[in-house]
Amino acid sequence: MAYVLHKLKLRRFFSSLIILIAFLSLSLVVSVSVGSTYIPLNEVYACITGLDCSSNVRYVLQYRLVRTLVALLAGGALATAGVIMQGIARNPLAEPYILGLSSTALTALSLAIIIDVNVIAHRYLFMLIAFIGALFGYFLTSILSALAGYTSNSLILSGIAVTAFFSGTSHALLYIVQDRLKFPYVHLLMGSTSVALFNDIYYLTATLAACLVITYICGIPKLLNAYLVGDDYARQLGYNLKVLITLAAFVVSILTGATVAIVGIVSFIGLAAPHISRMMLGTSDHRITTIVSSIVGSLLVVIADIGSRLLMVLTARGEFPLGVVTSIIGAPFLAYLIIVGGRK
Amino acid sequence: MRIKINNLSLNYDSVKALDSITLDIEPGNVTCIIGPNGAGKTSLLKSIASLLKPTGGSIYLDGKDSKLYKPKELAKIISYSEAQITRSIPMKVLDFILTARYPFHDVLHYFEGGRDLEVVNDVCNELKVTHLLDRRLDEVSSGELQRIIIAAALAKRPKVLLLDEPSAYLDIRYRFEVLDHVRRYTKEYNITTVIALHDLHLTSIYCDKVVLMSGGRIVACGSPSEVLTDEAIRNVYGVEVMTIAVGNGSVIAVPKPSNLG
């Protein structure tokens, strides 16, 4: 029985991977063809394969490819952050946005821009500042939640308090930034890939790859499997919880900080992707849900990015932020999870 | 594995949870710790598992101070399990039981190998939880969960098995079955089993040695018939009881509340 189930699990994992990668490839092609300038799919195909490419088409495609790839990487990063966050919080509603990490990261960024505008040009420094902000948010929410008795409700409510305070603060600060800098930094509030630069692909790829490698090499997925059961259960398996949980919190903060620094706050991806991956896989074994979540997250953000551009085409009103789309889809999903969780 | 506890003390803030405990625990025996709530049963089990750091004294495992073992080594030898686990993000029962095999993996063996699955398969058949393996942890009853937790504890193939209240949520059939299995397993593999129990009747049936605790101290220690006396129970629990022997050394303690006239 154990053998059969184990095999089935692995088979389900690989088939999920194949299906997701197929969908992701499809969404990439759609993403580069959708926008204010319509490019027929056959021209997209011809250009990608190098058969025939006019310079106009190439320019548009390059721009769209950059933002599509940034969307893909940001989605992967947020989903990975989400799945780890839910594990260390032992709470299926935990997510970097809900627990306040995104808002504190953005507040740190706005402060940094006000202090020295040039910080924007140094992407690694910019990401580092956002990371410190996110880490601050993590500890602030954890401390508040611990003071309130460490129940699953106290964690979420602390997160809401931290998010509310710091999204207000970051709004105010970004208004000040707008006076100094003629750049639509309000986009950071709701997330957007329209401001992404070519080099951001490298920064995000490096960050996401490093975080995934660290996560797997340090055995964080296994730790989370054991940790979900209980502190003492994980410790009797030989895990040093203080070190590993702190490391996991760092990984979450790095991933959140990196995405906030580049695309701004994109909500609910870290919530939805882990749930969808658990549904697909039928288990919450973090060794497989972490990687599947990251692909689901990529897919979700690429689709949301397509959605935000479709909205632009349909309403003829200019660019819609990405976060608008993820919020409109993500919030009902959160409501669904609350209802299902409440019924149990 | 022989466990020698020498003058062990443990303080929570200024409260004495364990007070100079000295105890020898032999392999191949089921040792039961009984006593009222707050007597220090859980503290003692957790200290043996090195989950709590003692304030004083030491614990020797096969003559070697447990502080000298690496956490990874201890993880392979000692299984400690509680009566309840968190199920907020429930995994599959099989995935949960397989977590017990993690101490045997190294960096290269990220997933379970044939040996892990074989052990888990055997343990699940013995504890009759095989039909539950495909369910999620939140889809099983509390009695089933209890058996699953014990299956996970045994899936380590431990040399020291520490169970905290393993029978709390079980119905009478599984109380007997599970403890019977634990006892058989202890004899067969010559492991050292320590169980914290509340049920005095089960204690008298399944334990080779009983340790009666109260206020962080050992009050009495010996065979069930030596320890489970009217007088000792009255002194420790503060309840008048009448112990009735029902054969084979098994004892039923019937409470006689004094205020009922």
Token pair listed for A295: 């692909």
**Would you say residue A259 has pLDDT above 80?**
yes
- What is the ipTM metric for this complex? 0.91
The residues, ordered by sequence, that sit 6+ positions from A79 with a Cβ below 8 Å of its Cβ are A269, A270, A273, A274, A277, A293, A294, A295, A296, A297, A298, A300
B89 and A86 within 8 Å at the Cβ level: the answer is yes
**Would you say residue A241 has pLDDT above 80?**
yes
State chain A's mean pLDDT as an integer.
Answer: 89
**Would you say residue A132 has pLDDT above 90?**
yes
Domains and CATH numbers, chain A: 81-343 (1.10.3470.10)
Q: Distance of CA A58 to CAs A61, A67, A72, Å?
A: 5, 14, 20
Alpha-carbon gap: A216 to the closest alpha carbon of chain B (Å): 9
Q: Does B154 touch chain A (CB under 8 A)?
A: no
Side-chain half-sphere exposure of B54, counting CA atoms within 13 A: 27
Mean pLDDT of B34-50: 92
Alpha-carbon gap: B1 to the closest alpha carbon of chain A (Å): 17
- Give the pLDDT score at A82: 96
Contacts of residue B110 in chain A, CB cutoff 8 Å?
216, 222, 287
**Would you say residue A230 has pLDDT above 80?**
yes
pLDDT tens digits, residue range A173-184?
A: 988 888 777 666
Alpha-carbon gap: A276 to the closest alpha carbon of chain B (Å): 13
**Would you say residue A39 has pLDDT above 70?**
yes
A120 or B157: which leads in pLDDT? B157
- Give the pLDDT score at A275: 93
Contacts of residue B99 in chain A, CB cutoff 8 Å?
222, 225-226, 229, 233, 237
Mean pLDDT of A77-105: 93
**Would you say residue A16 has pLDDT above 90?**
yes
**Would you say residue B260 has pLDDT above 60?**
no
- Give the pLDDT score at B216: 92
**Would you say residue B218 has pLDDT above 80?**
yes
**Would you say residue B107 has pLDDT above 90?**
no
Mean pLDDT of A100-106: 94
Alpha-carbon gap: A236 to the closest alpha carbon of chain B (Å): 6
The residues, ordered by sequence, that sit 6+ positions from B82 with a Cβ below 8 Å of its Cβ are A230, A232, A233, B149, B164, B165
Mean pLDDT of A135-157: 89
Token pair listed for A225: 């499997």
- Give the pLDDT score at B259: 57
**What residues 47-76 of chain B have any CB closer than 8 A to a CB of chain A?**
49, 51, 71-72, 74-76
- Give the pLDDT score at B257: 65
- Give the pLDDT score at A299: 96
- Give the pLDDT score at B196: 94
Mean pLDDT of B187-213: 92
How many angstroms separate the CA atoms of B85 and A308, rounded? 43
- Give the pLDDT score at A344: 58
pLDDT tens digits, residue range B138-148?
A: 889 888 898 99
- Give the pLDDT score at A244: 93
Which of B78, B79, B89 is best to mutate for the A interface (most A CBs within 10 A)?
B89
List the single range of A99-113, A154-168, A180-194, B149-163 with lowest mean pLDDT.
Answer: A180-194
Report the predicted TM-score, pTM, of the whole model to 2 decimal places: 0.91
The residues, ordered by sequence, that sit 6+ positions from A121 with a Cβ below 8 Å of its Cβ are none
**pLDDT exceeding 70 applies to what percent of chain A?**
97
Sheet of B217-222, strand order: B78-81, B160-164, B192-196, B30-34, B209-214, B217-222
**Would you say residue B193 has pLDDT above 60?**
yes
How many angstroms separate the CA atoms of B87 and B25, rounded? 33
- Give the pLDDT score at A205: 96
pLDDT band of residue A291 (cuts 50, 70, 90) is very high
